[in-house]
Structure 1
Amino acid sequence: MSSNPQTPNPSIQRDSDEIDLGDLMLRIWATRVYVAKAVLVVLALFVLYIGVSYLLSEKTVRYSQVFDLTFEGLRKGEFPNGSPFMISDITSPTVLNRVYRQNNLEAHDLKIDDFRRSVTIQPYAPDYALIRSKYEARLADKKLTPTDIAELQKQMANELAAAQSGSVIITLVLPEQRSLSKDLAQKILLDIPSSWADRAINEQGVLKPNVPVYSERIFNKERFENLDYLLGMDLILNSIKLVRSNIASLKEQPNASTLVDDESGFTLVDLDKAIQDVADYDIRQIIDPIKELGISRNPEVVKLYYTRRLADLQQEQKLWKDRAEVIRRVLAGYSSDKGSSPTAVSSNQNNMVPQLGDAFLDRLLEVSRQGSDLEFRQKLTQEVLKYENQSIDLEQQIAEIKRVLATMSNGQGTDQKLRDVYVKVVQEQLPSVLDNLREYTRVMGRMYEKQGKQNAGNISQLVEAQGGSFRFYTNPIFESKDITLLIILMALVSVATVFLVMVASMIRLRNK
């Protein structure tokens, strides 16, 4: 039986459907001339585009410098004295105006408004991207719970904030035709934070301790001359207490024991003793004869003042005594029945004197809820002692005022010549006393400022330039992104050219 000659050979049919890779490569290679021409055209057009863009663009010069902020309180956004800090203050118009004048930039054909617009500042964090990538990798874990995610996000925010808070970068961008030398540009960038720091320290006092300090103006001479003798002396003594309270606050600051005033040589202890001596001796030498003789410019006004003052002190003393008595009753009731300790106070509230006030009752309830039985009794006892001491202090002031009023009532018949003698003593010695007190207060002010600089540092520690961080940039003809774009375009054009040439070749073959 013979086979049918019309039936095609399966093996031949299968071979005709296979792709000949060698032939394909030859076809691709045959397109090389077209590809080269296309790439050259693209390259020429790209170079033309870059050249035109460069010629038409505004050419600038960029200078930058990184600075570290090192003062205490930076993480909280405040200076050592508690005042708020913002990085925009470093490049404020006041600071830039000073830098402009210091460097005589007007001679470099640079207007002050153009200079201010050319300066920018922003937080600098070289590790910012690394921190984000670290936490993003951890947050990608699908096993994390919502709580874990929230905690990681909080940690990332804190770490990013910390990275950005410690450093800033100041940039100066100028037109190429008004560019400066590298040395002058670097000096300007260094002068900006230096001028800011100098202004912040010396004019705003940001490094001073967070203590409100009185000035010598509280001992103004005219202020005391307008008052009666006794009232003026009381005012001086009260002002002395205020200054000594300032000194006591400064003594609590770090390194206070080594603080010495450069002009007078006083330490804080010396200064406190000198002011105390003025109160105990100089002023007493003036005030004692006035009190004993009842000397006054206007006796009726002085009597009215001290009578009113006596009534206020007696009322205040009664209040302290009432508070101490209430606590004694609470303590006695608690000792007799321990089981009612926290509630004993509240149960007795209705029996307490109304004028004691809600604040006192709240304080008493707060004490009653704290600690053990022994601690409760100890705190109540301490409260009693505190109130009794307040009452004793007021008793001394009351006795002194009663004595003054009695003297003024009985001393009006004193020999006029003797009175004139002591009035003259007051008029001669009071100005000298006030001068001494003003000088001591100025000494305290100088020590206050010196202590701030010792504790918080100087200008170089407020802000410091990072060594080697100065950078100088000009407009390049080609940037890295341009090179990347060119490579991508050449690759796409090459592939597209090969495809189009091969398609055109196939069409020609079919047409034949």
Structure 2
Amino acid sequence: MTEQQDRKSQSSTASDDFDDGISLWPMIETLWGYRRIIGTAAVGVAALVGLALLAAFLVLPAERLGSIQFRLMFDGAAENRYANGMPFNSTEIVGTPVLTDVYRTNDLRRFGEYQAFRDAIFILQSNPELQLLSDEYQARLSDTRLSAVDRSRIEEEFRRKRDSLKDPVFTISMRRNEFVTRMPRNLIEKTLADVLATWAKQAVDLRGATLYNVPVLSRNILRADLLETEDYLVAVDVLRVTVNRILDAASKIESLPGAEIIRTGKEQVSLTEVKANLEDVERFQLQPLLGIIRAEGLTKNAQELSRYVGAQLFQLKLRRDASMARIRASQDALQDYSLQRASRSAAEGQGGASGASAGRLAPGVDAPTMIPQLGEGFLDRLIQMSTQTQVSDVQYRQRLTDSIISESQDLASLNQEVAFYEGLERTIQTGRVGVSGSAQGTTLVKDRATKALDAIGLALDNTVSLYRDLSAHNLNPSTQLYNVTGPFVLQTQRSLTLRMAGVYFVLTLAFTMILVPVGCLAHSALKKKA
């Protein structure tokens, strides 16, 4: 019996066993005949898909994220201010001046345009404890059964705890979508480190993060040719005004912590001694010089001198009138506010008395006892509002009073200056100042004015030195503004991961093993019909 006859007998036997069923044997027999085609197609598709997925895995762009965690070390970082009191914002670290310098220094143009580099750098605050606290209170506040008082209490509690957990820890990161040109790992780490270092340098050099934010004068305010180009009286008057400016600046430095005890230079000069020396220069050198000039009638141009004194007197009188107007405005505002408060209090007292009498029942009439139900939270809120109102009222009146005191002090100084220039004006009008001064008097004035100028320059140098030493001692610029708290971390996220590539490979192979046999069956059916 041949093999074909055996198959036919087996087929007839199977058909006898399954009278009413559908036999799969013809389909299997047909596919068995196409086994080489099916195997070749499966192997070919698997190879092609594997190569395609490998090429896509290697060629498609990948996202690389490099990060460095750091902590800000200067005082006030948690309150968004530098140690000297100037405002601070974490976005300054990745600001345009910093990134421009880093982009140029590291020659990053070969890895993309500046705008792409700027968009790739960002900074985030990283505080796990604060995040846990936020999640906890967010869950508590999501309860719809909370009353308004309870919700306000929980929010206030969250603010207090959040303020206590403030920790200036940040993470600076660079995210790049790379296709062909890839930035080396070492360069990404160096770029992020350079951003921090450049920001710290600019914060010190440009923003004075390690220096107190007070006005400080240097030798730049002095003119070496003052005695040669200006009239004698004008030159000495300029020196007198300069001394007053330095004394004002020294007074502001004196209000800083430790300013009264710190000393500087080889001679260990203190700020108090600098002020005393300047006061001596004004009292024992400049004032006598003005007297000598007026007595000797020394001047280079009497007409120009008269114009100078008149202009100074005019400006001082304008400033005096403006100061007096500000004082009157503050006094009127304080008086009106006090009267309004007094009238409001009296009206509330009368309203309370009339309300009490109106609510009083007639004799012999019994009234039910009613006890108001007030919660503890409501009472606390009421007391808090009352306290805040009283505090704001006191602060407002205190600001007005301080403004009046400050303007009154300025007015006293202006009156003194007006009296000084009025005396000079009377001297000029009487004709006591002319061009007939003696040569000996001129030489004396120049010599003493030169000595006073040198003394003022020395005082300026000592003031600047004291200011820098005081800032160095209190603000501690030798310590870094930041400290790296974690290692550099580089994460790569590809567009096509190995897991996804495996899923695509299995699915493609499965579809192949379905579609190819179906095609073979269709081909066999068409062949039989033909």
TM-score (ref. length: structure 1): 0.61
**Shift of residue 412 of structure 1?**
3.9
1:144 and 2:146 matched: yes
Provide the aligned length of Structure 1 versus Structure 2.
405
Aligned counterpart, 1:86? 89
Give 1:274's aligned residue: 277
Change (3 A) 1:232 1:96: same
Tell me which residue corresponds to 1:228.
231
The alpha-carbon distance between structure 1 residues 45 and 249, as it changes in their structure 2 partners (threshold 3 A), is farther
Pairs within 5 Å for 1:31-180: 51=54, 53-100=56-103, 110=111, 113=114, 116-117=117-118, 119-127=120-128, 129-150=131-152, 152-153=154-155, 166-173=168-175, 175=178, 178-180=182-184
- Tell me by how many angstroms 1:471 deviates: 1.1
Task: Give 3-state SS (helix, strand or coil) of 2:290's partner.
Answer: helix
CA contact (8 A) 2:71 2:170 kept: yes
Give the 5 Å matches for 1:361-440: 361-364=332-335, 404-405=424-425, 407-408=427-428, 412=432, 416=436, 419-440=438-459
Say whether residues 1:212 and 2:215 are aligned partners: yes
Task: Provide the rounded CA distance (Å) in 2 between the counterparts of 1:387 and 1:98.
Answer: 46
Q: Distance in 2 between matches of 1:318 and 1:87?
A: 45
Tell me the amino acid that sits aligned with residue 73 of structure 2. Answer: T
Secondary structure of 1:257's aligned partner: coil
**Kept in 1: contact 2:67–2:172 (CA 8 A):** yes
Structure 2 counterpart SS, 1:256: coil
For residues 404 and 74 of structure 1, the distance between their equivalents in structure 2, rounded to whole angstroms, comes to 53
User: How far 1:239 sits from its partner (Å)?
Assistant: 1.9
CA shift for structure 1 position 238: 1.8
Residue 360 of structure 1 pairs with residue 331 of structure 2:
yes
CA apart distance, 1:188: 3.5
Does the Cα contact within 8 Å between 1:221 and 1:431 map onto a contact in 2? no
Contact kept, 8 Å, 1:231 with 1:302, in 2: the verdict is yes
- Matches of 1:315 and 1:189, distance apart in 2: 56
CA contact (8 A) 1:90 1:196 kept: yes
Is the 8 Å Cα contact of residues 295 and 408 (structure 1) preserved in structure 2? no
Q: Distance in 1 between matches of 2:222 and 2:163?
A: 47
> How big is the shift at 1:268?
1.7
Of the three residues 286, 292, 308, the one matched with 1:283 is: 286
**CA 1:280/1:143 → structure 2, altered by over 3 Å: closer, same or farther?**
same
Q: How far apart, CA to CA, are the structure 2 residues paired with 1:304 and 1:209?
A: 40
Q: Deviations over 1:196-253 (max 9, x none)?
A: 1111111221332232333433322446655432233223212211111111111111
Map Cα deviations across residues 3-58 of structure 1 (whole Å, 9 max, x no partner).
xxxxxxxxxxxxxxxxxxxxxxxxxxxxxxxxxxxxxxxx9999999756523422
Deviations 1:59-110 (A, max 9, x none): 354321011123344345343445443333222343234445655768xx65
1:472 is aligned to: 490
Superposition map of 1:240-389 within 5 A? 240-261=243-264, 265-303=268-306, 306=309, 357-364=328-335
Match of 1:448 in 2: 467
1:297 counterpart SS class? coil
1:389 deviation in Å? 8.8
Structure 1 alignment gaps of length 5 or more: 1-42, 324-353, 372-381, 494-512
Structure 1 residues 112 and 296: alpha-carbon distance in aligned structure 2, compared to 1, 3 A threshold: same
**Do the aligned residues in 1 keep the contact of 2:294 with 2:432 (CA within 8 Å)?**
no
C-alpha contact (below 8 Å) 1:61/1:179 kept by paired residues: no
1: CA distance between counterparts of 2:238 and 2:326?
A: 30
Where 1:62 maps in the other structure, the secondary structure is strand
**CA apart distance, 1:390:** 8.6
Quick one: percent identity of the two aligned structures? 19
Aligned amino acid, residue 145 of structure 1: S
SS of the residue corresponding to residue 208 of structure 2 reads coil
- CA deviation after TM superposition for structure 1 residue 144, in Å: 1.1
Instruction: Tell me what 1:379 maps to.
Output: none
Contact in 1 for aligned 2:217/2:249 (Cα 8 Å)? yes
Call closer, same or farther: CA 1:74–1:293 in 2, change over 3 Å.
Answer: same
Amino acid at match of 1:472: L
Q: Which runs of 5+ in 2 are unaligned?
A: 1-45, 343-401, 511-530
For 2:291 and 2:88, the matched residues in 1 are separated by 51
- Structure 1 residues 397 and 171, CA, compared in 2 at 3 Å: closer, same or farther? closer
Secondary structure, aligned partner of 1:207: coil
1:335-354 Cα shifts (integer Å, max 9, x gaps):
xxxxxxxxxxxxxxxxxxx9
How far apart are residue 438 of structure 1 and its match? 3.4
Deviation of 1:193 after TM superposition, in Å, equals 1.1
Instruction: Find the aligned partners of 2:433 and 2:52 in 1 and give their Cα distance.
Output: 109
Which amino acid in the other structure matches residue 291 of structure 1?
A: R
Q: Give the conservation status (yes or no) of the 8 Å contact 1:68–1:464.
A: yes
AA aligned opposite 2:196: P
Shift of 1:186: 3.5
Given that residues 330 and 404 in structure 2 are in contact (C-alpha distance below 8 angstroms), is that contact kept between their aligned partners in structure 1? no
Summarize the Cα distance change of 1:144–1:367 in structure 2 as closer, same or farther, 3 Å threshold: closer
Cα distance in 1, alignment partners of residues 409 and 125 from structure 2: 57
Aligned CA distance change for structure 1 residues 101 and 440 (closer, same or farther; 3 Å) = farther
2-side partners of 1:392 and 1:443: how far apart?
29
**Change beyond 3 A, Cα 1:93–1:361:** closer
Superposed CA offset, 1:107-141 (max 9, x none)? xx656738834751222224254233211221243
1:278–1:165 Cα change, 3 Å? same
CA contact (8 A) 1:64 1:171 kept: yes
Supply the distance in 2 between the matched residues of 1:59 and 1:367 (Cα, whole angstroms): 70
Q: For the residues of structure 2 that align with 1:102 and 1:319, how far apart are their CA atoms?
A: 53
Structure 1, residues 448-479: CA drift from partner, whole Å, max 9, x if none? 3443343333264422211x342122347997
